[in-house]
Each structure stands twice: as structure tokens, then as C-alpha cells.
Chain A
Amino acid sequence: MNKKITRFSASMRILHWAMAALIISLLSAGMTMVKSLEVWQLELLTLHKAAGLLVAVLVVVRLVNRWCATVPALPDSLPRWQKTMALGSHYALYSLMILMPLTGFLMQYYGARPIAVFSWFTLPSALYPDIELYALYRQLHGFIGYTLAVLILVHVLAALQHHFIRKDGVLKSML
């Protein structure tokens, strides 16, 4: 190793920001559509499911990409506990990114609601609902969704703290 990497690769940056935009819109769409009685609720719900499935595909691509790449190290000036926190929160973010589409799909599966992705294809569901498993995955989808929203907030605040307070290169490495 002669030169230290200071920036994530282009593919990782694109995946990061594309998924950030997608997931934040999915969170706000999810929280809006479960309350809404408006005419557009059906379209938003349809879009939510399709975009949620897209996240499931992208997160696999992203994880493969992540395991194959060398990434910039956190600054040496960072205390050990903060490094651990950073690492832990990134594992948590990846886990929740997997769990969200999974619980969404399983909720629809056990609610016996096939998922039509526009007129392109339809994902199968159980023939008859299982109300208890529906309840389980519906609750998980909600709780994990709110947890993910909080984690994203912490993640953003940490990035801003690196940039404006610590003035290190952490935010820049993703830009």
C-alpha cells in the first residue's frame, strides 16, 4: 500500500446517494400513505412497493460492491469508541436496509396481497392470509422504519459534525 485512499469509489458514492434519496423518499412516502385518504394514496402505495423492491436489489449490489472494495479509513484522530460507534451504525444501517424490503414483502405475502410492479410482473403472495404473521411483519415494518429514520438522522448529524466541527475529510470522502 503506497497511497492512502481518501475517497470512496465512484460506484460506491453513486450507490450511496441514490439509495439515500430512494430510502428517504420511501420513509416519507410510507409515513404519508398510511394516513392518507386522498385519491393519490393508491398510486403512492404502488410506487412505494415497487421502489421498496428496487432497494432490495440495490442493497445486494451495494454489499457485494462494498466487500470487494477498499474504503478510506476513519481519521486516526478519532477516539476508539467513536470508531466503534461509526462501524456499528454502518452495520445497523445495512441490516435495516435489508430488513425493510423483507418485512414489506412478507407483510404483503401473509396478507395475501400479490405485489404488482406496474404491468411488468407480479410477485406472488399466499393464497389465504395468515392474520398473525401479517400482524408480526406489519408491526416490524413500522418499527424498523421508524428506527431507520432515527438512525439516518444520527448518521447525517455525525457526517455534519465531521465536516463542520472536526473539520476532517469524512464527509468529503463520500462526495
Chain B
Amino acid sequence: MKQYLILLFSLITLPAFADVPRVSAQQFVDLQQGESTYPGYRRAHAKGMCISGEFVSNGNLSRYSTASVFKSSKTPFIGRLSIAGNNPYAPDLKAPVRSLALSFATSQTKQWRVAMNTPPVMAVANPHDFYQQIVAIKKGPEAIGAFFEAHPESADFLQWKANYQPSSSFALETYHSINAFYLVDEQNQRQAVRWEVKPHASTSSLKNSFTGDNALFNEFKQQLSDGPVMFDWVFTLATEQDDEHNPAKRWPQTREKMIAGQIKITQWQAQQGGRCDGINYDPLVLPQGIEATKDPILRARSAAYAESYRRRAVEVLAGDVEEGRDE
């Protein structure tokens, strides 16, 4: 009987010895949502719209992963286009980061959620530094300058930023996984990958004639009324030399790239009441055949997304949602 008590005691005291988080998920989401909250909306990437379509896989990746999405077939998705920030009414052309999220509900036991941004890398490699980076951004240019100086790991990000010009259309951007994942094959072999979703459209063929706060979204809706918008889904395979746990470091351009197929966006819906609104695009919702790396940024996302999802879900349940002003 004594041994039960000792076991019980050690289990109770275990959390006290565990690594105490420096920033909690709640603190992170508090910082992201800022002073003004918009009930019912995401605490980050609040402004967005639902899209749907299908991923047309060419089967090339089925050699690396057992996930059914990669068989040569078509898999429908419910996606979301968004801009970074807490404000669902923000002027969209001004947003520094644009995003594409995809949800594949292949069966009741297989779900895959993907949330991608325009930068190919993070400026920092862990959530605590990322928190401080957002604090610095909110303080202003001087603070952010000092932040980057104190964080030499931001070199790859800054180099990308210096050469990046936000485009006039969601259909012209390249969306990156940033974090690395493992593709897992039938023999349980793991291959670390990153991916990007690359546009078929080119700058020369696209002019955005819309103005105002919703120019980006309105332009995309118009494109969809003319036909599907296409992207290539391109995977980069890591080698031994690449650190799949560091989201701030780019992998060399010479790494093998494979096109998995085409993302074909065919329809849109307003996000309020739209089918993407209730989805938490937590990138750690993975089907068999895809696994998470130990990248500290990737691992931090689940708890933060769950906190934001919980807040807005409770507001939706309570009927405490502001009706869209942007429709």
C-alpha cells in the first residue's frame, strides 16, 4: 500500500519539476489579439474568406508518404485566404503577410490541416523569441531594429524581406509551410520536407483595379467568377545537412524539389457563416503518413491555436458575434 502512495505523490509533484513555460499560450494569444477584441473572429489572421476547390495529385509523393492525399487522385478541400493581424476589417493591401490555409477531410479518421504564410522562413526559431519579436513590432521601428540586431538568426528572413514586394493579388503570392514535417512511407522511413504553394498566374497577366480596404479579397472573388485559380504544390526534400527543427534557416536552393500536383481553387464564401469559419487550421492535425518535426515554433502552434479557437468558439456559442461590416 505504501508504494501506491509514493507513486501517487510522485505523479502529483511531477508537473512542479517540469520545464515551466516562459510564455504561455494564453499570454501569446493576449498579445496577438491586442487591446481591441473582435468577438467571434480569429485572434490572428482575423480577416479572411473561405475558399474551396480540390487538390489534383499526380501521385509523385506517394512514394514518400502513405497519406491518401498524395495518391494520384483528387481531394476536395475547404480553405481560407487571410491576412495577418487581429483586425477583421483591416485594409488588406497594407498587410505585410498573406496566408493560405487548407483542410482535407479525407475520412472520419483522416484529417489534414495546413496553414501557410508568404515568408519562407521565420525570423526566430522559438515561440519565446517570436513573442518578443511581436512586442518589438508593436513598439515601433526602433525596437524592431534592435530586436533583429540582437537576433542574428533572423538573417535569412531579413534577406527575403529585402527582396520581397507584396503583390496586388492572392493569386500571385507563394505560400510557405515555413515549418518542416516528415513524410512517412510504408516502411516507416521518414523524409523531412518543407513545401510551398506557387501561383500559375504571373504579374504581367494580372492587374488589380480594385481599391479600398477589401481590394485583395474583391480582386480574388472576381478572378474566381472568371474561372479556377491554380497553384502548384511543391515539396522540398531535406538532406542530412539540413536542420528540420530550425524554421529560421533556409535550405539551399539546390535541394531536390517535387511537384505533388495542383491546387485548384474554384469557389469562395464569406467567412462569417462560411464553411472555413469553424475550422481550427492547427498544423498539428495530421493524417497517417505525415508527422510533426520537433521544430519549437511548429510545436507551439497547437496550444496557441486551441486558445484562440476556444475564445472565438465560446463567443459564437454565446451569440456574441459582431456581424460583418465588410460584406
Contact = CB atoms under 8 A, between A and B. Distances in A.
Interface of A: 13, 17, 20-21, 24-25, 28-29, 31-42, 45, 111-114, 116, 119, 122-132, 134-136, 138-139, 175
Given A35-B303, A128-B105, A134 B15 contact: no
A93 B111 CA distance: 35
B8 A17 contact: yes
Contact of A39 (B8, B18, B277, B294): B294
B150 interface: no
A129 B317 CA distance: 13
Interface in B116-142: 127-128
Nearest to B28: A37
Interface in B9-36: 11-12, 14-15, 18-19, 21, 23-26, 28
Interface of B: 1, 4, 7-8, 11-12, 14-15, 18-19, 21, 23-26, 28, 78, 105, 107-111, 127-128, 275, 277-280, 284-285, 288, 292, 294, 296, 299-300, 302-304, 306-307, 309-310, 312-314, 316-317
A22 to B, nearest CB: 9
A134 B23 CA distance: 26
Contacts of B7: 17, 21
Secondary structure call for the B interface: helix
Given A41-B302, A42-B284, A130-B278, A17 B4 contact: yes
16 contacts: A13-B1, A24-B11, A28-B15, A29-B15, A36-B303, A37-B23, A37-B299, A37-B303, A38-B21, A39-B299, A45-B302, A114-B109, A123-B109, A125-B108, A127-B108, A130-B278
B111 A37 contact: no
A128 B108 contact: no
B316 A132 contact: yes
Nearest to A138: B310
B179 to A, nearest CB: 12
Given A39-B294, A113-B111, A139 B306 contact: no
A171 to B, nearest CB: 10
A122 B285 CA distance: 13
